[in-house]
Amino acid sequence: MPEPRTNERAPATAWNLLIGRPLRGSEASKQQITPVEGLSALSLDALTSVAYGPEAIIVVLAATGAQALHLVLPITLAIIALLAILVFSYRQVIDAYPGGGGAYAVSRANYGAGVSLVAGASLIVDYTLTVAVSIAAGVGALVSAFPSLASATVPICLGILAAITLLNLRGLGETARAFLLPTMVFIVGLLAIIAVGLIHPLALHAPQPGHSLLPAHPLETVSLLLVLKAFSAGCSALTGVEAIANGVPLFRQPRVVRAKRTELLLGVILGTMLLGLAVLASRWHIGPRSGQTVLSQIMAAAVGRHWAYYVVTLTITLVLALAANTSFGGLPVLASLLSRDNYLPHLFSLRGDRQVFANGILALSVLSGALLIAVGGNTNSLIPLFAIGVFTGFTLAQSGLVVHWSRERPTRWRRRAAINGFGAVVTAVSTVVFLISKFTEGAWVVVVAVPTFVLLFKRIHAYYDRVGAELGFGTRPPAPVVRRALVIVPVTSVSRLTERALSKALSLGDEVIAVTVALGGDEESNRRAAALEDAWASWDPGVPLRVLRTEYASVVQPVCAFIDDVRASQDVLVVVLIPKVIPSRARYAFLHNHLDLVLSAALRNRDDIVVARVGLALGRPVGPPRRAAPPAPSSRGPDTDPSGTNASEHAPTPAPPS
Amino acid sequence: MPEPRTNERAPATAWNLLIGRPLRGSEASKQQITPVEGLSALSLDALTSVAYGPEAIIVVLAATGAQALHLVLPITLAIIALLAILVFSYRQVIDAYPGGGGAYAVSRANYGAGVSLVAGASLIVDYTLTVAVSIAAGVGALVSAFPSLASATVPICLGILAAITLLNLRGLGETARAFLLPTMVFIVGLLAIIAVGLIHPLALHAPQPGHSLLPAHPLETVSLLLVLKAFSAGCSALTGVEAIANGVPLFRQPRVVRAKRTELLLGVILGTMLLGLAVLASRWHIGPRSGQTVLSQIMAAAVGRHWAYYVVTLTITLVLALAANTSFGGLPVLASLLSRDNYLPHLFSLRGDRQVFANGILALSVLSGALLIAVGGNTNSLIPLFAIGVFTGFTLAQSGLVVHWSRERPTRWRRRAAINGFGAVVTAVSTVVFLISKFTEGAWVVVVAVPTFVLLFKRIHAYYDRVGAELGFGTRPPAPVVRRALVIVPVTSVSRLTERALSKALSLGDEVIAVTVALGGDEESNRRAAALEDAWASWDPGVPLRVLRTEYASVVQPVCAFIDDVRASQDVLVVVLIPKVIPSRARYAFLHNHLDLVLSAALRNRDDIVVARVGLALGRPVGPPRRAAPPAPSSRGPDTDPSGTNASEHAPTPAPPS
C-alpha cells in the first residue's frame, strides 16, 4: 500500500483564505535573534509602558490637587531603583534558567506544582491585561493626536485586537520581531523629544486641546497612602521586564550572554525615558487633561503639534500594538504547557493548520476583548488590575531563585541569592502595597481571578487523572473480543438509498434486520407500513423487514426499545446504520427530514452499540472524490461512468488482489 | 424476538417538563362539537374583528377631519351586505366540501395545483396576520383600559404569543374550544353594552383619557378613493368568516347541517355587532384617540369606566388571544398538507411528541412574532396587509365553487353558482380595491409575499421530484451487493478506549488496520509515535498499527489520504471507527480533545465509506442501560459487575442461541 502522500489536498475554505494555507512544521521553524532585535521582539511591552506608567502616577497625585505633583520625580526615582533591582535579578534568572519559561518554570522547579499554578494563573492574568492595556494605551495616544476619534475608542481597540489575532492565527506573530524600524523610531524619537524638552523646548506655551482635570481646590492632604498609591500605579511601568528571561531560547548563541546584554540595555533605556519624562512633567507641572495623555502633553510641549509629534505618536500606537502582540507569543505557549501537564483542556495543546496554538490565541483574544469592552477602552481603569499579577510573578520568580541558589550553591551563590532575595522582598512588599492601596479600585478582580484559575487548573487535573485511570493509560488493556455483529437498518422506503444502506449492512454484519416504524397507530400509518411491506416483498433484498408499531409520534423510542430487546436476548454487537441523503448543496439540507439526526442524537451516548449514518450523495458521481493524479489507471472508472450509477459498488467484477 | 413494548421509556427532559409527556395517537383524538361550541372554536377570529374593523374605518375617514365621520354608517352597511353574501356563499362551500380544507382544497379540486398554491400562500399570509392582528388588538384593548401598560406593548404581545405557542405545543390548542365561557361573556356583554348605548347611555359625557387625533381643519375633501379605502379597511371585520367552512370535520353529525347553522349564527351576531357599533360611533361622533381604541371609547361612553367595562375589556383581550389560537390550529395542518404534497419541507409533516405539528406551530410563532416586532404591536399598521390575503382566498374559494357547480350540476346548481359567482365578483372587486387603495400603505408586502411563497413551493416541489427520481422511488432498486469490509481505527493510545474500538472493529470487518498520525514531523512527534508502536507491540492486539506521518498539523488529511489509497487499490467497503470518550457529564465534553469531531466532520459527506464514532462512556457501569424489568435474569449481569469491567464484551461465554 503506498505511503500517504505529503502533498495532501488543502481544502480552500473561507477560513483558509483568511489565515492562509496550512504550513508544514518545518516551515514554521524559528529564526534566532540578536540583542537589538531582542529589544523589538521581547522588550516592547516594557519600553512602551512609558506611555501609561508616568500618567498613572500623575492621575493618582492630581486627585488631591496641583500641590501633590511635585512628588512625581521622587516617586519615579524610587521606581527606577526598583527597575535596577529587577534588571539585575532577572539577569540572574537568565543565568539560572537559560531554557526560559519565566515564573511558571522557576516556581515549578523550586516550589513544586502548587506554587507554579499560582505563577501560571498570574501570568494568564498578566498576558490578558498586557494586551488590553497596550491596545487601550495605543488608542489613547492616537486619540490624543486626533481628538475626533474619541467616540470610536472601543471599536478601534477591538479592530486592532482583531488584526493582531488574525496575524497570530496566520503564524505571523513571531515575524513581528522583524519590525525593528518602528521600535528604533520609537526609542530614538522619544529620547530625542525628551532631550529637546530638557535643553530647549520649542513649543512650551502652545495651547493644548482638552481641559485640565486638576481639581480647583485641594481635596485631601498628601498622605503616605497617597504616595504608596502613586508608587504602585507607577510600577505598571515595570511590567514586561521579565519577558526577556522568559524568551532566552529565542536568542542566538551565546544565548545567555546576549539575553543578559538585552536585559541591561532595556533597563538603561527604560530608566532614561522614565527619568526624563518625570523631570519634564515636574518642571512643566503637567496634570491630567481630558482627551490628552500625559505623554502627548509632554511631547507637544517639547516640539509642538508638529510632524515630529505626529510621527512619534503614530509610532507609539504601532509599538503598543506590537507590545500586545508579545502576549500572543506568550500565553498560547504557556497554555499549551499547562495543557500538556493536564491543567488546561487538551484543546490548548493542539496546533492549528498554521502550526500555531490557535485555541490559546483565540482564548486570549476573547478574554482581552471582553476586558476592553468592560472598561470602555480606558487605560486608567485597567492599571489598578495590572501590577498585582506582574509583581506576584516577580516575587515568585526571584524567591524561587533564592531557593535555587541555596540548593545548587554555585560560585558566589550567596551574593546571587542576596540580589534575588532583596528583589523578592521589595517586589513582595510592593505586591502587598498594591493589594491594599488598590483593592477597592479593581485589584480585587485579580485577587478573585488568580485563585479561580488555580482552582480550575486543579479540578481539570483531577478530572484527567480520573479519566486516565478509568481508561487504563499505562496499563495493558485486555485483548479485543470478537462477537457476532447484528446490523439494524431503519428504513422508510424501497429506493436506492435503502439499497445502499443494505449493501453496507450486509458487508458489515453477520445478520441484518431492516426496521420501519409505524407511527401514531392510526389507519394511515398502518396502510403505509403495509405498502412498504408489499414493496419490500416484491424487491426481496434478502433482508427481513420488521414493522415496529407505536402509538407515539417518535421513531426514537421504538427503535431504542428494539435495540434493547436484541441486546437482552442475544450476545451480539448491535450496529445501527441509519440511511441519510447527502444533499448536493448545504442549503437543501433543511428539505430532508432529519429522522437520521434525531435517531443518531438519541443513540449518541450509548457505548454498547455502533451507530453510523450511511449517506447517499445526491447530484454527484458516486465513488471516491476525484483525485488529481490517481496512482494507477482504474478500469472501473467511477468518476467517468456516464450512467451515473455506482459502478464500484454495483459491478459484479471481483475485487483486485490487495 | 419479543415485540417492542408499548410502555416505552419517556425521558424526562426540560423540554418534556415544559410541554408535557409524549402522547399516544389515540389520546389526541378530537372531540366533536356543537354549533354553540363551534362559535368559540372556529368563529372567534371573525367575531373579535369588531375590535379592529370599525376602528379601521374611522381611522381612515378621520384623516380628512370630523366631517367625514358621517360615512361610518353607510360604509358599515355595505360591509354587512358583503358579510351576508359571504355567509350564504360559505354555507354552500360547506355543502360542497363537507371534508373541510377551505380555499386550498377547493381550488386544488377545481383549478389544479397552480391556483391552489396561490390559495395556500394567501392562507399562510392570513394565518400569520390573524395571529399578529388579534394579539395586537387584544393588547390594544388592554392598554385602553390600563394606559400605564402602553410602554410595554410589544413585550406583552410577545408574552401572549409565547403562551399561545406553548399551549399549542402541549396540544391544548384544540381544547380552547372548551373556553365557551369567555366567548359567551364577550358576545352577551358586548351586545348588552351596545343595547345600553342605544337605549340609554349611562356615561356619555364622562371624560375620556387620551387626546383626540382628529385634525383641527379638514385636510382633503371626501373623495371616492377615501370611501373605497375606508370600505376596504373595514373589510378586515370580515376575516375569519371562512374558518367554519375549513373546519367542518370538527362538527358532530349531522355535520353539514350544524356547520351551516353555525355559519348563519356567526353572520347574524357579527352583523348585529357591527351595525350597533356603527350607529353608536356615528351618533356620538367617535373619532380616533391616543391610547384608546374606538371600541373602548364606545363602551366607556355607554356604561362608564366601570366594572362592566373592565370585565368586557378583559374578556376581549382573552377572546382575541383565543382568536389568535385558531390560526395555530389552521396553519400547521395546512403546512402538513403542503408538505405531504411536497410543496414544503417534510419537516412540517412530522408530528411531535404531543402529536401536534410542532414545526408548523413554531414557524407560525416566529413569523407572527417578527411581524409584531416590526410594527411595534400596532394594529393599524397591520390592517392594510390583512384583507388582501383573506379576500384572495374568498375569491378563489367562491369562484372555484362556481366551477364545481357547473361541473357537478346538482339540483338548483344554477342558483348556487349564481350566489357563489356574485360573491366571487364582489370579493374580487374588493381585492382589487384593497390592492390599489392600500398598495403603498403596506399591501405591497402581501403582493410580494404571496408570489414568493408560490415560487418557494414550486422550487421545493421540483427539488423533491428530482431527488425522488435520483433515489429511484417507485422503481425496483438493484439487489444489495456484499463486499469485504476493511475497518480503519485511528488511535492515539494503548488503553481501554482503543481496546473497545478494536473489539468492535474486529466484530465488523474482514480486516482491521489501526492508524496513528505523527504530526508536524518534529522529533517530539516521532518519539511519541515510536513509544506508541512499542506499547502496541507489547500489547499485541492482533491488529497492525500503521503510523501516518505528516508535516502538517492536521490529522484529517493524512487519514483521508490513507482512505483514498485503500479505496484506489482494493475493492473493499472502507469503515472508519473513530474512538471517542463519552464524558459522564456534558460539561466535561470540552476537556476531551475533539479529534473525533474534526475527523467525523471531515468525512461526513463521503458516501463511499462508513464512518462511526464508537464511544466509551466514563463513570458508568458498562453495558446496556438499566432496564426496569429485564425479560430474563442474565447470568452475565453487566450492571452488577463489581469490577467495573465490561463483562458482556470481555467474557468468553458463547452467545446464547437467538
pLDDT digits (tens, 9 = 90+) for A453-465: 999 999 999 999 9
Q: Which of B355, B464, B553 sits opposite A355 (nearest CB)?
A: B553
The band of A16, judged by pLDDT with boundaries at 50, 70 and 90, is low
What is residue A8's predicted lDDT score, i.e. its pLDDT? Answer: 41
Answer whether A16's CB lies under 8 Å from A353's CB. yes
Task: Please name the residues in contact with A400: beta carbons below 8 A apart, sequence gap of 6 or more.
Answer: A103, A106, A107, A109, A110, A111, A115
Highest mean pLDDT among A35-49, A441-455, B88-102: A441-455
CA–CA distance, B265 with B35 (Å, rounded to integer): 9
Interface mutation target, options A361, A539, A571, chain B, most CBs of B under 10 Å: A571
Cell of B266: 356567526
Q: What are phi and psi of B584, to 5 degrees?
A: -70, -25
Cell of A512: 441484518
Could you tell me the pTM of the whole model? 0.72
Chain B, residues 402-461, CB within 8 A of chain A, namely 460
Cell of B609: 465509506
User: What's the rounded mean pLDDT across residues A200-207?
Assistant: 75
Cell of B252: 358532530
Beta carbons of A553 and B353 less than 8 Å apart: yes
Chain A, residues 347-366, CB within 8 A of chain B, namely 347, 349-355
Interface mutation target, options B9, B536, B552, chain A, most CBs of A under 10 Å: B552
Q: Which of B347, B649, B656 sits opposite A481 (nearest CB)?
A: B649
More confident residue, B467 or A434: B467
In A, minimum Cα distance to B629 occurs at A568
Chain A, residues 15-44, CB within 8 A of chain B, namely 22-26
What is residue A328's predicted lDDT score, i.e. its pLDDT? Answer: 83
In A, minimum Cα distance to B343 occurs at A591
User: What's the rounded mean pLDDT across residues A108-132?
Assistant: 88
In B, minimum Cα distance to A493 occurs at B473
Cell numbers 409565547 label which residue? B162
- Single-letter amino acid, residue B280: L
For residue A652, the chain B residues in CB contact (below 8 A) are 481
C-alpha distance from A245 to closest chain B C-alpha (Å): 24
Chains A, B: CB contacts within 8 A come to: 369
What is residue A316's predicted lDDT score, i.e. its pLDDT? Answer: 87
The band of A588, judged by pLDDT with boundaries at 50, 70 and 90, is confident
Cell numbers 516575587 label which residue? A395
- Single-letter amino acid, residue A310: Y
The band of A608, judged by pLDDT with boundaries at 50, 70 and 90, is confident
Beta-carbon neighbour count of residue A99 at 10 Å? 10
User: What's the rounded mean pLDDT across residues A561-578?
Assistant: 91
Question: Angle between the B379-408 and B102-110 helix axes, to the nearest 10 degrees?
Answer: 40
Cell numbers 459527506 label which residue? B605
For residue B170, the chain A residues in CB contact (below 8 A) are none
Residue A537: which of B472, B476, B2, B3 has the closest Cα? B476
The band of B526, judged by pLDDT with boundaries at 50, 70 and 90, is confident
CA–CA distance, A491 with A216 (Å, rounded to integer): 84
| B319 pLDDT higher than 80 | yes
More confident residue, B325 or A86: A86
What is residue A172's predicted lDDT score, i.e. its pLDDT? Answer: 61
What is residue B289's predicted lDDT score, i.e. its pLDDT? Answer: 84
The band of B593, judged by pLDDT with boundaries at 50, 70 and 90, is low
- Chain A touched by B252 (CB under 8 Å): no
| A151 pLDDT higher than 50 | yes
What is residue B605's predicted lDDT score, i.e. its pLDDT? Answer: 78
C-alpha distance from B626 to closest chain A C-alpha (Å): 10
For residue B519, the chain A residues in CB contact (below 8 A) are 25, 351
Chain A, residues 621-650, CB within 8 A of chain B, namely 622-625, 627, 630-632, 634, 636, 648-650
Lowest mean pLDDT among B126-130, B212-216, B228-232, B524-528: B212-216
Cell of B380: 393599524
Beta carbons of B610 and A539 less than 8 Å apart: no
What is residue A211's predicted lDDT score, i.e. its pLDDT? Answer: 72
CA–CA distance, A601 with A591 (Å, rounded to integer): 19
Which string of DSSP letters, residue by residue, matches B197-218?
HHH--SSTTS--SS-B-S-SS-
For residue B347, the chain A residues in CB contact (below 8 A) are 590, 593-594
What is residue B75's predicted lDDT score, i.e. its pLDDT? Answer: 93
In A, minimum Cα distance to B506 occurs at A482
| A118 pLDDT higher than 80 | yes
The band of B15, judged by pLDDT with boundaries at 50, 70 and 90, is low
What is residue B652's predicted lDDT score, i.e. its pLDDT? Answer: 33
C-alpha distance from A498 to closest chain B C-alpha (Å): 9
User: How many Å separate Cα B443 from the centre of its chain?
Assistant: 23
For residue A542, the chain B residues in CB contact (below 8 A) are 479-480
Strand order in the sheet with B545-549: A545-549, A511-518, A484-490, A572-582, A609-617, B609-617, B573-582, B485-490, B511-518, B545-549
| A146 pLDDT higher than 70 | yes
More confident residue, A497 or B656: A497
Cβ burial, residue A585 (10 Å; 0-12/13-18/19+)? exposed
Chain B, residues 510-549, CB within 8 A of chain A, namely 519-522, 538-539, 541-543, 548-549
The band of B21, judged by pLDDT with boundaries at 50, 70 and 90, is low
Chain A, residues 293-312, CB within 8 A of chain B, namely none
| B156 pLDDT higher than 50 | yes
In A, minimum Cα distance to B586 occurs at A605
What's the whole-number average pLDDT of chain B?
81
Beta carbons of B568 and A508 less than 8 Å apart: no
Interface mutation target, options A508, A563, A587, chain B, most CBs of B under 10 Å: A508
User: What's the rounded mean pLDDT across residues A367-379?
Assistant: 90
What is residue B271's predicted lDDT score, i.e. its pLDDT? Answer: 95
For residue B592, the chain A residues in CB contact (below 8 A) are 346
| A74 pLDDT higher than 90 | yes
Q: Which of A464, A610, A622 sits opposite B607 (nearest CB)?
A: A622
